[in-house]
Every structure is written in structure tokens, then in C-alpha cells.
Amino acid sequence: MDGVPAFELSIFLPATFAAALVAGLAGFAFGLIAAATWLHVLSPSDTAALIVGFGLVVPGVAVWKLRRALDPRRFDLLSSTGKDQSGLAREEPQQPRHMLFSFLSSAWSSSFCFFSAAVS
């Protein structure tokens, strides 16, 4: 690699490996771990471009490695292995709406109580 000092490369490669390891274990935070060290040796614009690029590559490699374990029939709601159309028709259409309303109203009321206690 022309123009890349050995010092910068010796920091860039372990930081990339550590960020990929964290992203593999936790499933997220590649950009946070990589940016913490990349910003010491690269410009912010280069770091942002690399985070976007590696942010697509790292999960793509993980999905490619696990592609045999994915069963497309599990994602099809209308297939014979999942629910059929008659099973979908029997569900109560108002139930998810009521559950969402109760969740949002409880979240709103708890946040109102929290902020009013914090202000006073």
C-alpha cells in the first residue's frame, strides 16, 4: 500500500478487527468502536466513508455465512408452514390497535409523571 505509514496501518487493522468482533458478538456498534480509534489516524471524512462501507460489509458477511440456516418459508405468512389466510381472518383486527393504544398511553403517562417530578 503506497502512502500508508506503518504506524497508521498498525492502529487501523486491530481497530477494524476489534470493531468487527464487537459487531459479531453484540450485533451492533461497529461504527462506535471503529470510530474511536480510526479518528486518531484518519480524517473525519475518511472515517465516515469507511464506517458506511464497513457498516454494510460486516452484516453482509454475517448473513452470507448464515444463509443456509435461513428458511424463506418461515418469513412467508401465507405459506402452508405458517398461518394460512383462514387463520389470518380469524384473528381479531382490533386487538393490535388496542394493545398499541394501551402501550402508548401508558408510556405517555409515565413520561409525564417523570418529567413533572424532575421539573419540580
pLDDT tens, N- to C-terminus, the chain (120 residues):
467 788 888 888 999 899 888 888 887 888 888 999 899 988 999 999 999 998 888 888 888 888 888 777 666 655 554 455 555 555 566 777 777 888 888 888 877 776 665 555
For residue 98, the one-letter residue type is H
Question: What confidence score (pLDDT) does residue 81 get?
Answer: 47
CB atoms within 10 A of CB 15: 20
* 34 burial level (CB within 10 Å; 0-12, 13-18, 19+): buried
Measured distance CA(24)–CA(30) in Å, rounded: 9
Question: What confidence score (pLDDT) does residue 26 get?
Answer: 84
Question: What confidence score (pLDDT) does residue 1 get?
Answer: 46
Measured distance CA(66)–CA(43) in Å, rounded: 34
CA 77, distance to chain mean position in Å, is 23
